[in-house]
Structure 1
Amino acid sequence: MVEYRALAEAIRGVLLRGGVAPRRQVLPIPGGEFLVMPAADGEVAVCKLVTVEAHREPRVQAEVWARRLATGEVFHLPGEEITRRRTAALSLLAALVLAPKREGALLLVGPGAQGEAHLEAFHEAFPLSRVYVRGRGRERVEALLGKAQGMGLEAVEWTGEEVPEDVAFLVTATNSPTPVLPERVPPGVFLAAVGSYLPHMREVPEALLARAALYCDTEDALLEAGELQGVGRPVVPLKEALLGRRAEGEFVLFKSVGHALFDLAAARAYLGLG
């Protein structure tokens, strides 16, 4: 297992050093979609294959193939685990760079695999005072609360209408096509919206978006993320944020839809290349 901070640093390295990755190909299949995501740099070439099928569990299944270019070695890597951990590590990197607060409560909306990974990542890097969880599946909500409590954290279900004032870090990780948050969050919150990845999906309401300092994982998110369609002000890609560019707003919204460059970074970390 590669630690989340190590994965975050691998992502930082790939973004700053550069790599080649076309936009992902999305093909219709019966009952879902098939995604192909290649990427390469001077040392490693990778391709992730993903199927998204609403009638299956887990809904998203993935595998990653990586080739070390100097030796020709080929590796079959655990795609679902890489996707789970690199997505949370990406949010963590953005939080380490952009979050106005360095400690406080974590609110997780969506108690699935990504909610769990983000709990692990943020617990690894920040002193969390409390964990709030919201979700539709009772068993998953209770399982995530139990996991947080097993990590020594106070954890409760969020059932209110307003985001609690002690929340410093907020993660939405759902496949909802409609907003899952109210129209206000406490000032200074870092919000990672990682669930929606298509133009018709929107986890964050427009009124909330209008008050946010806007960031995204790559410029592809401007075309793919429902929240960012038609936004009439700058959205700062994470690479530019790493170089010092900043957006203005009452709180930070980091929108990620995923990208093959992050799979490349994760493969490098899993192969010990950093």
Structure 2
Amino acid sequence: MLVNSLKTVGLLGLLTGLFIMIGGAIGGQIGMIIALVLAVVMNMGAWWFSDKLALKMSGAQEVTPDQAPELHAMVEELSRRAGIPKPRVYIIETDAPNAFATGRDPAHGAVAVTTGIARLLTREELAGVIAHELAHIKHRDTLISSIAATIAGAIGMLADMVMWSMIFAGFGGNDEEEGGGVAGLVGGILTAMLAPIMALIIQMAISRSREYMADAGGAQILGNPLPLASALEKLEWAAGRMPMDEARPATAHMYIVNPVLGGLASLFRTHPETHKRISRLRAMANRSGNTAMAA
């Protein structure tokens, strides 16, 4: 877990550095300073508003203990085991089985599950999923992922600005500067094209690292890795057959399994391959001698 935490810190540093570098390409030293200030402002915005935006974009509706007593009781018990305040509970009306957690810190956490997930999973499997989401809240993963997504999106916008400014600057060049101008133009356009790809790769690496941590944390909270492993098998199977219309690529990294599978999404995974997650969970069960529930 420590290795994954250090990896996340390093990747976030790379992402911020890339953002500042693009700012420098636009406006030199002043551009770098402006980009740094923007990075701080955007991180604060992501910290404060990420939960509200995620819940609104997914169409999640908060439910009371009277409306969903079993779900609330499960969340309350697992929160107690995790040592965090009980998060708010939301339901998304869709047959696609999935779940996610959000919130800037454990005191402002929220867990959202779809109506389809309760129909697909057993009670123990659903508890494994909820424990995974509570581990995200405990580790502040939702905040980290939101910051990464915000900076990566901003890098894409800045890269577009760099590319178009280079193109228009190239059109206004003169013959004496043609050699250096063309080289600079090509270099600038390549930078503008590669920077968003690099940012996306870093963002995905952060997301995958945090998913492994949440799997391990969820197994610890529940006291058994096998129900989560079984749930992941079912959820991965369902994701390819029941696409989640409510999900957006910008929030896909938040769900326990990627709800936007197929096409290019398969090439740019926000989650580790599910069979690798399952293998790790089963290995945890074997190490702990938890073979009684191997079925």
Normalising by structure 2, what TM-score?
0.24
Greater gyration radius:
2
Q: Structure 1 or 2: larger strand share? A: 1
Q: Structure 1 or 2: larger helix share? A: 2
Normalising by structure 1, what TM-score?
0.25
